[in-house]
Amino acid sequence: MTHISRRHLLGMAGGAAALGLVGCGGDDDDAEQPVATATQASGGTSAAATPTPRGIKPAAEITYWSVHPANSKAAEEELIKRFQAAYPDIKVKLETAGANYAEVSQKFNAGLAAKQIPDVVMLSDVWWFKYFLAGTIEPLDALLDEVKVDRSDYQDTLIKDYQFDGKQWGMPFARSTPLFYYNKEKWAAAGLPDRGPKTWDEFDEWAAKLQAMAKPGEFAFTHVKGDSYIAWTFQGIIWQFGGRYSDEKFNMLMDSPEGIEAGNYIRSQVFTKKYANVTAKDEKADFLAGTTYSMLSSTGGLAGVLKDAKFPVGTAFYPEKKQFGCPTGGAGLCIPKAISDEKKLAAMLFIAFITNPENTAYYSQNVGYMPVRKSAVNGPLMAEFFARYPQFKTAVDQLPKTRPQDSARVYVPGGDAILGKGLERMILNNEDAKNVWPDVKKELQKIVDTEIRPKLKI
């Protein structure tokens, strides 16, 4: 991998922007030229012209399956418009493949069985591994080299999340961390300092004050349910308490004393301390309505929250307990194995283009996900924006302190749902974590033994 200086890269990103403008102007009589130039823009060095070293031309049309996470359809359409301007010879068809990550995964799975698959598919942290196990997604290393993508410019944590067995199985796109969102008006009314709580113990004190001034039906804090990824927000909490769901050898460890303490802690927030509820449908809607005063929610929804909130919103790191703990999350883009080489090449060009520094900065500013490129975060692309909206910086600042999620959630097929259901038993049904975790462990262990160990030979 060639090393590229930040200035060099930004220069090229600027070039890409300029190219985009030219393209928008309707200049399409030199269709050949942009392919080469835009390949540069996708973060690589020079000299990649069509056809590529293998003598393959990118396909004329590719299909992209997305779920437009956090209402990002307009932003995605803009990215595609920019891509069409830079690559007039590759038409991108954007298809809505479900309402959430589970649905696109289901559709992809069914599509594989029916042999109707896209060329680029959005697979979230908890889904891509299943398709890696099944051998149905393409390792991207050779393609990344072919279109000369500078992998070292992607944020390390985010790109590593899609690595296994020494190969790259997807590229980070809509990537997030959970943030602690709080309603500054309520904070001020309760006499609290304008920041997030440093620890859960501090938050217990604060929440009591907040709850004291709450109207009936209002709560200082809210938890989400399984289908809104409680197993993701709780991933951070179980780490903070010194526990974990599992280790990298797929041993299930959530029933440790620390895991039980963490589970019973969130249960106590709802049932004994009574300052937290479980959101009926959408934690962001409750927060925006002013009926819950704080929440743990993805940075992916940040732009929408800031736009719709009628009160000042603060964002902060996760509170700590024994230590800090915070996962990354969100979705990446994968390429199916069973499509032609021409399609794969076009798909790679598309992925590289929409995750280049310029475009990831655009996507981040308009949706809320983190820019996936170092040069975007550290350079002028985001600097002015961060100054204007410091809330966006929290996730990026938190990122170096995150760690990869436990295998039980992201690698065990269906693991997220099983963990989520266990956590629902605690926060909806007031069941003791001591009784819940062993059931969860048994269910996950069975899948590990039947579906993972035989395939990975571990």
Partner 1 sequence: MAHAAAHPRASGRIQRLFPYLLFILFIAPNIALLVLFTYRPLVESIRLSFYDWDLISPQKTWVGFENYTDYFADPTSRYIIRNTLVFTAATVGSTMAIGLGLALLLNLRLRGRNAARTVLFAPYVLGGAAIGIIWLFIFDPRFGLVSALLGRLGLPSPNWYNDPNWAMPMVIIVYTWKNLGYATVIYLAGLQTIPRELYEAARVDGAGPWARFWHVTLPQLSPMTFFLLVTTMLSSMQAFDIISVMTAGGPLDATKTMVYQVYEEAFVRFRVGDASTVATVLFFILLGVTLLQVRFLERRVNYG
User: Smallest distance from the beta carbon of 131 to partner 1, in angstroms?
Assistant: 9
For residues 204 and 221, give the distance between their C-alpha atoms in angstroms, rounded to a whole number: 10
Q: What is the b/e burial string over 109-126, where b = at least 16 CB atoms within 10 angstroms of the residue's CB?
A: bebbeeeebbbbbbbbbb
Does 336 contact partner 1 by CB under 8 A? no
User: Smallest distance from the beta carbon of 237 to partner 1, in angstroms?
Assistant: 20
Does 278 contact partner 1 by CB under 8 A? yes
* Among positions 104, 411, 413, 437, the unique one binding partner 1 when judged by CB under 8 A: 413
Site for partner 1 in 348-377 (CB under 8 A): none
Does 281 contact partner 1 by CB under 8 A? yes
User: Smallest distance from the beta carbon of 134 to partner 1, in angstroms?
Assistant: 5
Residues recorded for the chain: 458
Nearer to partner 1, 222 or 365 (CB): 222
Which amino acid would we find at residue 6? R
* Among positions 280, 383, 456, 458, the unique one binding partner 1 when judged by CB under 8 A: 280
Binding mask 99-138 for partner 1 (x = CB under 8 A): ---x---x--xx-xx----------------x---x-x--
Q: Is 65 left (phi over 0), alpha (psi -120 to 50) or beta?
A: beta
Does 50 contact partner 1 by CB under 8 A? no
Binding mask 186-225 for partner 1 (x = CB under 8 A): -------------------------------x-------x
Does 175 contact partner 1 by CB under 8 A? no
Q: Determine the 3-state secondary structure of 336 from DSSP.
A: strand
Q: List the beta strands (DSSP E) in 284-408.
A: 294-298, 313-316, 329-334
DSSP state of 297: E
* Among positions 20, 44, 226, 259, the unique one binding partner 1 when judged by CB under 8 A: 226
Nearer to partner 1, 22 or 428 (CB): 428
* Among positions 50, 256, 268, 291, the unique one binding partner 1 when judged by CB under 8 A: 291
Of the candidates 74, 306, 79, the residue with the CA atom closest to the CA atom of residue 184: 306
Going from the C-alpha of 439 to that of each of 8, 436, 446, the distances in angstroms are 54, 6, 11
Of the candidates 263, 283, 176, the residue with the CA atom closest to the CA atom of residue 221: 283
Q: What is the CA 431 to chain-centroid distance, rounded?
A: 30
For residues 238 and 423, give the distance between their C-alpha atoms in angstroms, rounded to a whole number: 11
- Contacting positions for partner 1 (CB under 8 A): 102, 106, 109-110, 112-113, 130, 134, 136, 217, 225-227, 278, 280-281, 286, 289, 291, 413-414, 417, 421, 424-425, 428-429, 450-451
